[in-house]
Amino acid sequence: MNSLARFYLPQADWSESVLVLKGEEAHHCVRVLRLKSGTRIEVFDGVGQSACGTLSSVSKDHVEVQLESKQYTPPPSLRISLYQAIPKGGNMEWIVQKAVELGVLEIQPLISTHTVVKPDQLEKKAQKWQKIALEACKQCGQNWLPRVQTPMNYDQWLTQYELEGCALIAALDPRAVSLAEGIAQFQRTGTAAVLIGPEGDFSQKEYDLAIGQGFQPVSLGEIVMRVETATLYTLSALKYALGT
């Protein structure tokens, strides 16, 4: 397991020999971790590239890293998108963190009929979720930073959605098949979509719209799971079944 502290630097800010960390990344390095010159760290750009280097200059808002080696991590063989109706409280934060650890590359928060959310807080929440995704990448060694999209109304999102690959909706609906059967209906594919509802579930209209767009309704068993459990259960089963 890599024990080096990891920091994020957008691809556009990379150079050939020296990388410069500023802002929050510099603050985290100097003020939080209290790293000194001579310490080895890892830097990644969120699109597959990472590098090991040594701190050569350290100040409170400016950290220079002398590069030693670069590596490139190919994108995951299975591109998973999570379409998540926003749950209550802080559960979305936990879902984002764990979804990143499971290799999800896109997270689209959705506002459905039974979603309980304050519209004026969505922009701030989305920024926080993206930050949580970044912190999860640092901790778990993921070099591909997932994009947490701007929250959208369910109906609006679905009219723009283009079906590609495996698409599953966790459903308390008589048309649902078992999760294993739902996954088995799809041949090995490079893309997968997982659609999960809120605490109050999707409305019948929302189920009908998703199924009409090609989402396969799947049952997660006889026990009704909490939203966050349903999300991680479905993602884990999907990755296992498709061998990634």
**CATH code 1.50.10.100 for 79-241:** no
Structure tokens at 73: 């991590």
Q: Per residue in 11-43, pLDDT tens?
A: 999 998 899 999 999 999 999 999 999 999 999
Residue range 6-72, CATH number? 2.40.240.20
Tell me how far apart the alpha carbons of residues 164 and 214 are, in angstroms, rounded to a whole number: 9
List all residues 6 or more positions away from 13 whose beta carbon is below 8 Å from its beta carbon: 19, 20
Q: Per residue in 77-128, pLDDT tens?
A: 889 999 999 998 889 999 999 999 999 999 999 999 998 877 778 889 999 9
Mean local confidence (pLDDT), 167-194:
89
Element (H, E) at 177: strand 177-178
CB-CB neighbours of 133 under 10 Å: 22
**Domain locations in the chain?**
6-72, 79-241
Q: Give the pLDDT of residue 1.
A: 44
